[in-house]
Amino acid sequence: MKTENAETNVLPLELHDLTVAYHSKPVIYGIDVEVPAGKLVGIVGPNGAGKSTLLKAVMGVLKPTAGWVKIFGEDAKDNLRRIGYVPQRESVDWDFPVTVMDVVLMGRYGKLKWFGWPSKADRHLARECLEKVAMLPYANRQIANLSGGQQQRIFLARALAQEADLYLMDEPFAGVDAATERAIITLLHEMRDAGKTILVVHHDLPTAQNYFDMLLLLNMRLVGFGPTKEMFTQENLQKTYGGRLTILSEIADAMGREA
Amino acid sequence: MSTVNYSRRLLPALLVLVIFCVVVPSAHAARPAEFVENDVWEQMMRFLSLRDQGVRLVLGGSLLLGIGCGVLGSFMVVRKLALAGDALAHGVLPGVVLGFLWNLTKDPLHLFVGAVISGMLSMAVVTVLKRTTKLKQDAILGIVLSGFFAIGTCLLTMGFGLEAGHKAGLDHFMFGQAAALDHLDIQAMSWVTGVSLVIVALLYPKFLLLSFDQAFASSLGLPVRFLHQLMMLLLTFSVVVALQAVGVVLVSAMLVTPAASAYLLTKRFHIMLVWAAGFGMLSGAVGALLSFLGSGLPTGPLMVLSASAIFTIVFCFSPQQGIVIKHFRHVNRQRRVVLENLLKAVYHASERDAHTSDGMTLLDLAKVKRQTLDTIQQDVGGLVRRGLATLSHDGDVLYLTDAGMSRAAQLVRNHRLWELYLTNAADYAADHVHDDAERIEHILGEATVRDLERRLDFPSVDPHGSPIPALSAKS
Ligand SMILES: Nc1ncnc2c1ncn2[C@@H]1O[C@H](COP(=O)(O)OP(=O)(O)OP(=O)(O)O)[C@@H](O)[C@H]1O
Ligand SMILES: [Mg+2]
């Protein structure tokens, strides 16, 4: 769709010395990353490594304590409409009285005027997005009556409806069966080929190797970022998963106590 | 399906009925000593005809508070903030009393400003505590609620001491007295409710998203903090509007109960808002009426009682989740299964003699089913009433009608197809499939049966070698 990014060579995402803290206890430290356009990037790291925190900081949901985030060369908060987000599935109440269609339409809300309601065109687009994740037949279902994999696809459709250029996805493969996983990864590859940049938090190492162009290894600090082939080494993975980085977490605890 | 439609139509009728039942006896109970039927009737007519200015004010106020509480309460219920509404309701009390003490009149503007300030203050305390401590929401709300309420009660007692003439007016803020509403109050209530509703309508998509997925909302760049504060402000408005008629103690019930009833009824949030507003108005109006008939009982508890009555009805009769409806549906289904099994037994018997005889004695039937003749007679009665069978003159022999025969064939067919499917496609052993098929045969739909047939390549015998009846005339 939009090829201008690749042409003008503006980085979709640039993190500089990014540090984020909860209650003044740092969770991720001094992250420096420059993500090139049109790449499918896997973010891997153990539980509590700060993967979700990183994504939230990129979108400005959490304010960094230090460093900055640039999205397509601009301050993150000025360019939010170019970001699409798929939160972790557990982050919402699935008994909420809305239908599948209602949820997907929410992807359009970022483009609404202050007092605006979604238009017919928005509905049309939402239907197309549902079609892409093969959920159109469920458009009028209440979300409570969906399986985990279906819920995940709804979130994906909602992100597609955002028509963004940079996508941030938090564990879109969690609790999804093999067939759905394949469908999703195919969709992600299509999106990448259309010039989108996609960051995906992923937990399964063996598949990570095949799915992603680049890997971002994270464990409170950046362990490594680069092409999958170079990153996927025994040594790197050891550094990422082999024991929490004890000194860092001790310091973090100490700082948390002091504050 | 038809049960659902039926009960959907039934619901409004039942509502009216039950409210009537609530109204009449409680009106009787209200004045046992000087009970005169005409009197109650007359009072009710007086209320319903809206002849009195006072009645109109009371009713108007009740409807207004019902809408506001229903709509804002719905947001609180789906956001799991129902208790925040309670805290807020108690949090406004100090402000109300101070607004009164300002110049010792019950001027709506002063009370309103005082209430809003102290309500928002209580919410601010909640936010600060949440951000700076590890305490969880429930404990924080508990502290703030009781603390503000205590301050309010102290101030109130001081207010009582100040001037006896005004104390009655303030007293109503505890348990509510709709009759105390005057023209100015209603005017203020209309404005506040109107403004709130307009804001909710304009910002509905934003509020919906905030309620469903706050992180996503802020990823879109929506000002979630501001939206949350705004929603809390509107909640404070609706609490203040309801305060005089419902009272501090029970306002939260008017926020939660109508919204909770609506939540049980629908799957769409905007429809929930409409139902909640409707239930809110109904409870308000009925509460006001009861208070009017009972000559001055506090309106708050009566409105909340009405709201609870509505909740009970919805809980019992809601088409999807109502327990009574569920029970009836279950009983119906069981009854159907009994009758259908009887049909099958007759069919099997006639199958054994190659469909030559065209009847079965009830005695044989009782033997096959291993049941008493009485039970069989009763069940056969059901078949006859449904036009599926007829009885001989002496009542001893049962004949299936055409409809009965084709329904029986259909059941047997479902049963045998399903058995075949389980053994062929799902790899069940042939001696494991019967019980499962016994259950499934009653619920297989036409489309599923056709699909099964196609998958099994239109079979003619089941795994035990019995023929699968062809689909004869349409049932
Ligand atoms: N709201 C919060 N308040 C305080 N601490 C938090 C909060 N959210 C996360 N944390 C802490 O920050 C750290 C990183 O959390 P984060 O959710 O980013 O991890 P993650 O890598 O996404 O883990 P997972 O694989 O389990 O999703 C954890 O130690 C967690 O305890
Ligand atoms: Mg996470």
ipTM of the complex: 0.87
User: Are the C-beta atoms of A16 and A67 separated by less than 8 Å?
Assistant: yes
> In the 8-state DSSP scheme, what is residue A142?
B
Minimum CA distance residue for ligand 1 atom 28? A48
Nearest one of B86, B69, B77, B78 to B123, comparing CA atoms: B86
CB contact under 8 A, A93 and B80: yes
User: Are the C-beta atoms of A42 and A102 separated by less than 8 Å?
Assistant: no
User: Are the C-beta atoms of B75 and B297 separated by less than 8 Å?
Assistant: no
The pocket around ligand 1, CB under 6 angstroms, is made up of: A 22, 27, 45, 47-53
Alpha carbon dihedral A109, A115, A117, A120, in 10-degree steps, equals -100
> In the 8-state DSSP scheme, what is residue A110?
G
Helix, strand, coil % over all residues of chain B, rounded to 5: 75, 0, 20
Interval between CA B216 and ligand 1 midpoint (Å): 17
Range of weakest confidence among A20-29, A128-137, B36-45, B203-212: B36-45
Question: Which residues of A are less than 8 Å from B74 in CB distance?
Answer: none
Residue A233's identity, in one-letter code, is T
Q: How far is CA A237 from CA A32, A54, B31, in A?
A: 19, 19, 81
Nearest by CB to residue A59, choosing from B204, B219, B268, is B219
Range of weakest confidence among A203-212, B45-54, B251-260, B396-405: B45-54
Interface test with B, best of A25, A88, A93, A94 (most B CBs within 10 A): A93
Please determine, for residue B383, whether its predicted confidence score (pLDDT) is greater than 70.
yes
Q: How many other CB atoms are found less than 10 A from the CB of residue B36?
A: 9
Question: Which residues of B are less than 8 Å from A144 in CB distance?
Answer: 267
Q: How far is CA B327 from CA A163, B319, B323, B449, in A?
A: 48, 11, 6, 28
Residue in chain B nearest A155 by alpha carbon:
B216
Mean pLDDT for B310-320 is 90
Residue A132's identity, in one-letter code, is K
Please determine, for residue A2, whether its predicted confidence score (pLDDT) is greater than 50.
no
Q: How confident is the model at residue A245 (pLDDT cuts 50, 70, 90)?
A: very low
Distance CA B390, CA B398 (A): 6
Q: Which of A20, A23, A24, A27 to mutate to test the pocket of ligand 1 (most atoms within 8 A of CB)?
A: A27
Q: How confident is the model at residue A17 (pLDDT cuts 50, 70, 90)?
A: very high
Which residues 6+ apart lie within 8 Å of B331 measured at CB?
none
Q: How many other CB atoms are found less than 10 A from the CB of residue B180?
A: 19
Residue with tokens 């963004």: A164
Buried b (16+ CB within 10 A) or exposed e, B54-66: ebebbbbbbbbbb
Please provide the average confidence, as pLDDT, over all residues in chain A: 87
- The ligand 1 atom at the shortest distance from the C-alpha of residue A23 is 4
Structure tokens, B212: 């469903």
Alpha carbon dihedral A60, A65, A70, A76, in 10-degree steps, equals 20
Mean pLDDT for B366-378 is 86
Which SS3 state, helix, strand or coil, does residue A25 take?
A: strand
Interface test with A, best of B213, B214, B264 (most A CBs within 10 A): B213
Which SS3 state, helix, strand or coil, does residue A27 take?
A: strand
Pick the CATH number of B325-400 from 2.40.30.30, 1.10.10.10, 3.40.50.200, 3.40.50.300: 1.10.10.10
Question: Which residues of B are less than 8 Å from A257 in CB distance?
Answer: none
Mean pLDDT for B341-354 is 83
Give, to the nearest 10 degrees, the angle between helix B224-246 and helix B108-132. Answer: 130
Domain B404-473 - what CATH class? mainly alpha
Which residues 6+ apart lie within 8 Å of A121 measured at CB?
none
Nearest one of B175, B200, B178 to B189, comparing CA atoms: B178
Q: Using one digit for the tens of pLDDT, what is the confidence trace for B90-122?
A: 999 999 888 887 776 777 788 889 999 999 999
Distance CA A20, CA A3 (A): 32
Between strands B397-400 and B389-391, the pairing is antiparallel
- Alpha helices in chain A, H assignment, sequence order: 4-8, 51-58, 100-105, 120-132, 148-161, 178-193, 205-211, 228-231, 234-241, 246-258
Nearest by CB to residue A61, choosing from B215, B268, B272, is B215
Distance CA B335, CA B410 (A): 18
Contact with chain B for residue A79, Cβ under 8 A: no
Q: What does pTM read for this prediction? A: 0.80
Range(s) within chain B of domains with CATH label 1.10.3470.10: 3-319
Interface test with A, best of B202, B267, B270, B318 (most A CBs within 10 A): B267
Domain B3-319 - what CATH class? mainly alpha
pLDDT value of position B6: 46
Minimum CA distance residue for ligand 1 atom 26? A47
CB contact under 8 A, A109 and B202: no
The CA angle B332-B335-B339, to the nearest 5 degrees, is 140
pLDDT value of position B166: 57
Which residues 6+ apart lie within 8 Å of A131 measured at CB?
none
Please determine, for residue B475, whether its predicted confidence score (pLDDT) is greater than 60.
no
Q: How many other CB atoms are found less than 10 A from the CB of residue B338?
A: 14
Range(s) within chain B of domains with CATH label 1.10.10.10: 325-400, 404-473
Closest ligand relative to A51 C-alpha:
1
Cα-to-chain-centroid distance, residue B384: 37
> In the 8-state DSSP scheme, what is residue B429?
-
Q: How far is CA A12 from CA A36, A37, A75, A166, A251, in A?
A: 6, 6, 11, 7, 33
pLDDT value of position B4: 44
CB contact under 8 A, A85 and B216: yes
Mean pLDDT for A237-254 is 61
Percent of chain B residues past pLDDT 90, beyond the cut: 33
The CA angle B249-B242-B144, to the nearest 5 degrees, is 45
Which residues 6+ apart lie within 8 Å of B191 measured at CB?
none
Please determine, for residue B160, whether its predicted confidence score (pLDDT) is greater than 70.
no
Nearest by CB to residue B205, choosing from A56, A103, A112, is A112
Closest ligand relative to A21 C-alpha:
1
